[in-house]
Structure 1
């Protein structure tokens, strides 16, 4: 009973933090015009500080690994966070969220193309409504713009690449996500620190007339960003992939509603069709993947039983 309450508590926290971070960042971009890369760098620094505190409380343990092993991951981590935030800054919350759903088919495409991984026909078919739904939503978005579309597309590609690399690196180095993040966050912050003076108006940021509200929102965004990571990794480690997917669907719907209420983002009927198609595709994908995994586990158990009988 106590364990179930803890799971529910963390699920609720993750939903709240995930929705809050998107809406906070959108408010910061719209009302302060805070530089995107600088904000991402602050997020990384606060995340690293939070992980140092977590390690002191034995929430996870640090694993020694060569820094050179983590540089490609850190670079792609920078890319996906920065490009995702740029997509959020130039698109509506709904379009930003729908575009992120393309990560699933993109990850599958990369695994087929570069790692020769095979997927069942049913899995591939579930990707069709996701792709068509995203295209329909972008086409009918009244705030559609080329810049936002480019950022969203690049964000999906880099995010997919990051997810594939992280998955392989976890298996290769036998590290959990928080151990990886412990190295990724400071390395990514250092990379962005070099980039900020080149591409962003540092002087303008420093001399900006900062109100207490501006400072509070930026700091809140950074702290919430850390808790999104913390609760996400806890859920992945203590529940099933299906549970995590279902939570993702809930966040998807609530974020679209939140964007409409907070930023007066109107939703066209055709956009609603696109969003519905995308959501149906994601739910079907999760269902088929869980079914495939159960079959693989069952076959593996049967093979072990046969092997045991043969030995006897």
Structure 2
């Protein structure tokens, strides 16, 4: 049963990596070719995610649970910030700069877990992050262009994303709900929270947008992929941890490079091959260290129970 569970988690991780790579490309295309406003696109993502969950509910894929809406308000705000700031970072930074700065989410999660939740990461886990940073930087150094506004959006995005990913797991645990049940409330609430900033920052008079059938189709494709991204993120974090999800997420850039080479015949340099190998090394090292630590922790929790059972047997004898 454990092997089947690990296989299912691995499958969802692969799905998340695939759709996350796809949505970066689609969103960049929508921004570049159609000038579609960022916050409006984010709100459409939330609306389509909610509609998708309604369809899942009709087919009995999940059963909604009554959850306190006000308690989820902080998570909804970070949910909005996570998507909006990530898209803004992608919009105002080059892809290389975006990828390098995004790697800072992992140490930020480690810091928040240690300071706010008393869950420090071991030095072995922290060490596995080193080849990931080196690999991403090695691949992206030619495309690094820093600007004040891009750095501001990236830094804010790292902090909010870290909080969001941590809270996704803690809220599911505290409210005793699964990923779909939590997202069923989060998606429409987050869409509503985006209406005031959209009215202020993206009024119709300030947006020069010519909608065509192709533009509508690309926005619809982006929203459909966003539904899969959001649902898989919630499921992975709820069944593993924010840190595990984040480390596995670094494989996304490896997947983008590899698929570009295999499918589109994009040129790939020796530096990029080394970058892919370094990132994979870091992620696999993290998986191995984490697995070993989980085994040790599980054995430590079972030891007192086993010892107590043996003592009870001796007393009865």
Shared fold by TM > 0.5?
A: yes
State the match for 1:17 in structure 2: 19
Q: Unaligned stretches of 5+ in structure 1?
A: none
SS in 2 for 1:65: coil
Counterpart-to-counterpart distance in 2, 1:233 and 1:186: 15
1:29 positional shift: 1.2
State the match for 2:296 in structure 1: 295
State the match for 1:225 in structure 2: 226
State the match for 1:68 in structure 2: 70
Q: Give the alignment's TM-score, normalised by structure 2.
A: 0.81
Q: Unaligned stretches of 5+ in structure 2?
A: none
Comparing 241-250 and 48-57, the one that deviates more: 241-250
Counterpart-to-counterpart distance in 2, 1:293 and 1:234: 20
Q: Give the alignment's TM-score, normalised by structure 1.
A: 0.82
- Going from structure 1 to structure 2, the CA distance change for 1:154 and 1:246 (only over 3 Å counts) comes to closer
Comparing 96-105 and 134-143, the one that deviates more: 134-143
1:82 positional shift: 0.4
Select the residue among 34, 37, 42 that pairs with 1:35: 37
1:48 positional shift: 0.8
Counterpart-to-counterpart distance in 2, 1:156 and 1:240: 17
Counterpart-to-counterpart distance in 2, 1:167 and 1:243: 11
Aligned-residue CA RMSD (Å): 3.7
State the match for 2:155 in structure 1: 153
For the Cα contact (< 8 Å) 1:94–1:256, is it kept in 2?
no
1:36 positional shift: 0.7
CA-to-aligned-CA distance 1:2-59 (integer Å, 9 cap, x gap)? 9999888766644432222111001111111211111101100110111111122222
SS in 2 for 1:163: helix
- Going from structure 1 to structure 2, the CA distance change for 1:254 and 1:32 (only over 3 Å counts) comes to same
1:72 positional shift: 0.4
For the Cα contact (< 8 Å) 2:179–2:231, is it kept in 1?
no
Count the aligned residue pairs. 310
CA-to-aligned-CA distance 1:153-186 (integer Å, 9 cap, x gap)? 2211110011222222222111222222111111
- Going from structure 1 to structure 2, the CA distance change for 1:27 and 1:108 (only over 3 Å counts) comes to same
